[in-house]
Amino acid sequence: MRTMAGRLIFFEGKKCIRCHSCEVGCQLENDAPPGVRLRWVTSHVRGHVPALREVSVSTACFHCSDPSCVAACPAGALRRRSDGVVEHLRSRCIGCGYCVQSCPFHVPKRSPAQHTMRKCSFCVQRIDRGKEPACVAKCPTGALSYHPDGKTPDAQAYGSAEGLHMVYALQGPPEEYRLPVPVPRNTVAAGQPWKWLGGLLPGALVLAWLWKRLSPTEEGDG
């Protein structure tokens, strides 16, 4: 039974001007030093004159409906909230990097300077106060928008059907943006097993426990 669709960040490619304001806004809000990017904008040129365009995508954690990082984390530093946010608890993170290996989108990154992994946590400190995430607040053109009701403005958007909480309306095929196709849905199998094997057991325990606790509100989220 779907009790909560989950929050959503929608990226509209044709509005992005690759100014990187979302990245900086995210870093300032989330105590990420220069070089540690929890969100990143990439651009490439597509087509030829006169239809030639520079197109961009602003990427962060996809907040999977069945996140492999949560399963892989041996420290209980990652959890999926009932609103779909995959939250990273920095105080618990031991920086082991198992999540880095497990993520099919290559989102979590180790921050040696901070001795932990870093990834987008949907600005829970802001959204829990009724505000939009920092990246959305800082986007000058409205390319990023926040939908707390979980209603996607574009059902065709990348990740929309798969229940990701960060969905993308792009100007070209997702492969061109180096996004995995098909969209990973349940992703535990990704990564290199021997590297995250050590985390599997505690991870599985966490998952099992979470599953048990949260399944009434989580089911059918995707």
Partner 1 sequence: MKVGDGKKKAGISRRGFLKAGALGAGAVLAPRVARGAGRPASGPAEGEIDREVASCCQFCQVRCTTLAQVRGDRVVNVYGNKGNAWTDGKMCPKGQALVELTYSPHRLLYPLLRDGSAWRRVTYGEALDAVAGQILKVKAAFPEDHAHRVVLFAPLWESHESEIAAQMALYMSGFPDICSPGDTCIGSSATALRICLGSPVSTTTVDEVLNAETLVLWGANIAEMYPPYVRWIDRAREKGVRVVYLDPRVTATSNNCDEQIMGRPGTDGALALGLARVMIKEDLYDRAYVARHVDGFTELAAAAEGYTPEKVAGITWIPAERVTALARQLAASRRTVVWLGGSISRYTNSLQSVRAIVALQALTANLSGPGKGIMNVQGGKPGGVEPFEETFRPPGLEGALSFRKVLFAMEQKRVKVLLLNSSYRRYPDARRVRKAIGNVDFVVYRGFFMDDEAALAHLIIPGTMPFESAGSQYGAQRQLVWRNQVVPARGETVEDWRFYSDLGRKINGEKFPAVKDPEDILEMVRRKCPTWAGFTKERLQKAPAGICWPCPGEDHPGTRGTLYPGNRFMTTSGKVELRSQALGPIEWSDPEGAPQAEPEKSKDFPLIFLQGKVVQHWQHTYTNWSAYMSQFSNGNYVQVHPDTVKGKGLKDGDWANLETEVGKIRVRVVVSETILPGLVWTPSHPANTSPYDGNKGESINTIVPSSWDKVSAQFNGFGCRLTKA
Q: Would you tell me which residues interact with partner 1 (CB under 8 A)?
A: 14-21, 23-25, 27-31, 33-35, 37, 45, 48-50, 52-56, 76, 79, 81-82, 87-91, 121, 123-125, 128-131, 137-142, 206, 209, 213
CB of 156 to partner 1, least distance (A): 19
CB of 48 to partner 1, least distance (A): 7
In angstroms, rounded to a whole number, what is the distance separating the alpha carbons of residues 149 and 22?
21
3-state secondary structure of 68: helix
3-state secondary structure of 11: strand
214 conformational bin, left if phi > 0, alpha if psi -120 to 50, beta if neither? alpha
Instruction: Specify whether the CB–CB gap between 210 and 80 falls below 8 A.
Output: yes
Of 30 and 68, the one with the shorter C-beta distance to partner 1 is: 30
CB of 199 to partner 1, least distance (A): 15
Distance set, CA 86 to CA 78, 122, 170 (Å): 7, 8, 23
Of 35 and 182, the one with the shorter C-beta distance to partner 1 is: 35
Answer positive or negative: Cα dihedral of 70, 104, 179, 181.
negative
Of 70 and 183, the one with the shorter C-beta distance to partner 1 is: 70
Q: Which has the closest alpha carbon to 7: 63, 51, 89, 91?
A: 63
CB of 182 to partner 1, least distance (A): 28
CB of 194 to partner 1, least distance (A): 26
CB of 180 to partner 1, least distance (A): 25
Of 134 and 183, the one with the shorter C-beta distance to partner 1 is: 134
Instruction: Specify whether the CB–CB gap between 30 and 121 falls below 8 A.
Output: yes
User: Which residues on adjacent β-strands are paired with residue 43?
Assistant: 56
In angstroms, rounded to a whole number, what is the distance separating the alpha carbons of residues 207 and 29?
29
Of 18 and 185, the one with the shorter C-beta distance to partner 1 is: 18
Of 107 and 183, the one with the shorter C-beta distance to partner 1 is: 107
Bond preceding residue 173 cis, omega within 30 of 0: no
